[in-house]
Amino acid sequence: MVPMKLFSFAPVRLITALLLALMALRPVAAAELLDRILVIVDQGVILQSELDQAMEDARRQIRERGIRAPDEEALRAQVLERLILTRLQTQRAQQAGIRVDDRELNEVLTNIARQNNMSLAEFAEAVRKDGMDYLAVREQIRDEVMIQRLRAREVDSRVTVTDQDIDMLLASQGTDADVEYRLSHILVAVPEGASAEVREAARKRAEALLQRLRAGEDFAQVAIAHSDGQQALQGGDLDWRRGVDLPQTFARTAAKLAPGQISDLIETSGGYHIIKLVDRRGGGERTTVVETRARHILIQTNAVRNDDQARLLARDLYNRLQAGEDFAKLAKEYSDDPGSKNNGGDLGFQPPGVFAPEFQVRIDQLEPGELSPPFRTQFGWHIASVIERRTRDTTDETRRARARAAIANRKAAEEYDTWLRRLRSEAYVEYRMPSDAETAAQKAS
């Protein structure tokens, strides 16, 4: 997505009216200083400054990927359409009452910084060193969070995956389900409910692009200039995806391609696709997990026991266990964990990541039969012991879990594309682009 400023929903009509009035009252040269409205999008506007910033960001991304940029007109059309789609979604989110306040936004930014091993201040400085406006990046991320929440509410929540869906996918993928493919993609979209004539025109456009690619034109450059796909500005790069995560038509086609080879046209309800297999890897590996069977006694604070008293009780129970008393008996008598106390504190075999991180770290440090000293987590004071460990083959379970996630993601992506096209077709979009003469005069000045 490209950065943009965010107008609040309430005053945007006033902003539009004031800018239009000022531009009408002043000479063109003076109005240019105030910024120019390029597109009216329902209740909002897209300004020249926003397009300029988005174009610069797009050029930087293209340079970083080592792709030769298309001509300015084609790139501007792609970037402007992306701005329109983003603006429509943020407006829809605001209408639905979705907000991201500064506190929430700072939490998101802090997490992004942490993932890059930076503090928030260091992240802000790194953004500025890259030549980007940090405040604009903040607003871009605010927009992205709003759009994610909107998508979760209006699209993802309606997606369902059945066991039959999973069985059918795994049967069709066979042993190739875990092969990973690196694909590049071009889409010539067809609007929902399009006539046969519109669909035929899209097919001819896609065929012309395919001919250009097979004649040797650069795939990434053609994608940036002409693809209607979400990854167009990334040169159509879909990155590495397992076969199970791809649309079935893509996976079946990719399995037959050699690295570097370009597919024939792939027709779907959403349009015509061209994919290029960049590379493939993996497949056929077995998945195992080391599971730990642990037990614990939990001592919590309550109305008659403060934290110091809970710690002292846990220490006393630890000493009694060290002296040889039965763990299960003491757990049934003293533990405050209702889920395990009746089983003598036994938590059963569990894979990594099930328990709270502080608890997981402690039991990972124990050998079978070893008892931990009392330690504290958010739930209270614990005494833990590892009964045994085992390595279990989880290949089938993992494949089914991945298949479920892949189907859910695929259905959500298809629903999102349809929803986005409908949102775009129903929107009021008025272009106020400068004429060629005005553009030339502006460059000359």
Distances (CA, A) of 328 to 296, 317, 325, 364, 389: 9, 12, 9, 21, 19
Written in H, E and C, the secondary structure of 230-256 is CCHHHCCEEEEEEHHHCCHHHHHHHHH
Quick one: which of 184, 165, 177, 168 has its CA closest to 243?
177
DSSP code of 90? H
* Residue 2: predicted pLDDT: 33
Coil, strand, or helix at residue 239? Answer: strand
For residue range 7-57, list pLDDT tens digits in order.
233 333 333 333 333 333 333 333 344 588 999 999 899 999 999 989 988
In terms of DSSP bridges, do strands 180-189 and 237-242 run parallel, antiparallel, or are they unpaired? antiparallel
Please tell me the distance from the alpha carbon of residue 191 to that of residue 193, in angstroms, as a whole number. Answer: 6
Predicted structure pTM score: 0.61
What average pLDDT does the structure give for the chain? 86
DSSP code of 162? -
Q: Is 80 in contact with 51 (CB distance < 8 Å)?
A: yes
- Is residue 380 packed enough to be buried (19+ CB in 10 Å), middle (13-18) or exposed (0-12)? buried
Quick one: which of 49, 45, 54 has its CA closest to 34?
49
For residue range 391-437, list pLDDT tens digits in order.
988 888 888 888 899 899 989 988 999 999 999 999 999 998 875 44
Domains identified in the chain and CATH numbers: 12-154 (1.10.4030.10), 176-285+398-425 (3.10.50.40), 288-393 (3.10.50.40)
Q: Is 223 in contact with 232 (CB distance < 8 Å)?
A: yes
pLDDT band at 174, cuts 50/70/90? low
DSSP code of 245? G
> Tokens 């950065």 appear where?
3
